Amino acid sequence: MKIAYLSTFYPFRGGIAQFNANLYKELQKEHDVTPFTFKRQYPGFLFPGKTQYVTVKDRAIPVNSVSVLDTANFFGYQKSARQIAKSKPDVLIMKYWMTYFAPSLGAVAKYLRTRNCKVVTILDNVIPHEQHFYDKFLTKSFLKQNSGFVVMSESVRDDLLTLQPNARFILQPHPLYNHFGEKANKQIAEGLLELDPEKKTLLFFGLIRDYKGLDLLIEAMSLLDDSYQLVIAGESYGDFGKYRQAIDNSPAHSRIKVLNRYIADNEVQLLFAAADLLVTPYRSATQSGVIPVAYHFDVPVLATDVGGLKESIERAGTGFVCLPTAESLSESVQEFFRSDREVFIANIQKEKEALSWTTFAHALTEFIGTL
């Protein structure tokens, strides 16, 4: 099969680029795949981080992609689509995670479908966490240009069917990331991170945004005794001041370590080696790209009962699920540490077998064959 894969690839960085690189490598084993990426992914005002690009500290998978699409140049959409069409693909695969991409990706999809090319999009989100009045209109317009979809949680499936009831799709869970290397030695990691080896270590990892409920976890720390410590590791997309104030005012402030910056790939293994439990205290969610990272390092998860997080944790028995409140988080943390951690780790090992990139790629290509 000839596949054109349009999304964010190297030299862009981040979880979505990592996802695309892993899936591209797997598809390439059996198919002719041409990766296409953005000339400009976001205008500067839409990107609150320091850089969109790979640095020397990242363990990025180099992909020799073709830069074709400037998402901010409406007049260049057709030219980009024509360039992709020259490869004469049987199918165009894309990834969709925010409304901003609806006009550009929708224009490319529409053009390719007029050239007898199937279009399949992997949906991270359909309805965004931080909503605007135009989201549903633009997303519905984009969805109409597709032949089919891959969703990775029941929550995204339900959102898809709300906007497009007749959509053709498959539900295939998010595969595990495996490019971060092996877990580091716990004692060495604790030393490098200047953590107390006698305390139980909770980890909040990833981009810091309001919907991710970091404030709830900070409040929960004030309800936990001195035997617990928290590491907050991730770049804040927005003002971190309110979180800093909450930490400074917390009786647990001396037990909260903050790394408020982009976490390079070579630091990830240290953080998860030191962590006893990953906590995702989200107020809203679809699925989480952080949870597969935790599974890669055999770290159990405490997630709030929002979106598709519950199904990925409870079904596999890889952690606990609680309400999105500080009280419920603190109670569940204590319940986890009263439990046998090895049981969760054994279940994570089983989950790894099912959540491979090979399994995901085969399900995707079989689905394409039915369209």
List Cβ neighbours of 9 (8 Å cut-off, separation of 6 or more): 17, 20, 21, 24, 35, 36, 37, 63, 65
Q: pLDDT tens digits, residue range 217-252?
A: 999 999 999 999 999 999 887 788 899 999 999 999
Strand 228-233 relative to strand 200-205, pairing:
parallel
pLDDT bucket at 57, cuts 50 / 70 / 90 = low
- Global model pTM greater than 0.75: no
Mean pLDDT within 44-72:
70
Q: Are residues 60 and 9 in the same domain?
A: yes
Q: pLDDT tens digits, residue range 323-355?
A: 999 999 999 999 999 999 999 999 998 888 778
Q: Are residues 112 and 248 in the same domain?
A: no
Mean pLDDT within 104-113:
96
Q: Are residues 213 and 171 in the same domain?
A: no
- 98: domain range? 2-175+356-370
Query: Whose CA is closest to 234, among 255, 210, 254, 204?
Result: 204
Q: Are residues 328 and 362 in the same domain?
A: no
Query: Whose CA is closest to 189, among 231, 234, 247?
Result: 231
CATH number of the domain residue 290 falls in: 3.40.50.2000
pLDDT at 118: 97
Number of domains present in the structure of the chain: 2
8 Å CB contact between 63 and 9? yes
Query: Whose CA is closest to 63, among 35, 39, 38?
Result: 35
Q: pLDDT tens digits, residue range 132-158?
A: 778 889 999 999 999 999 999 888 999
Mean pLDDT within 299-307:
90
Q: Are residues 102 and 213 in the same domain?
A: no
CATH number of the domain residue 113 falls in: 3.40.50.11930
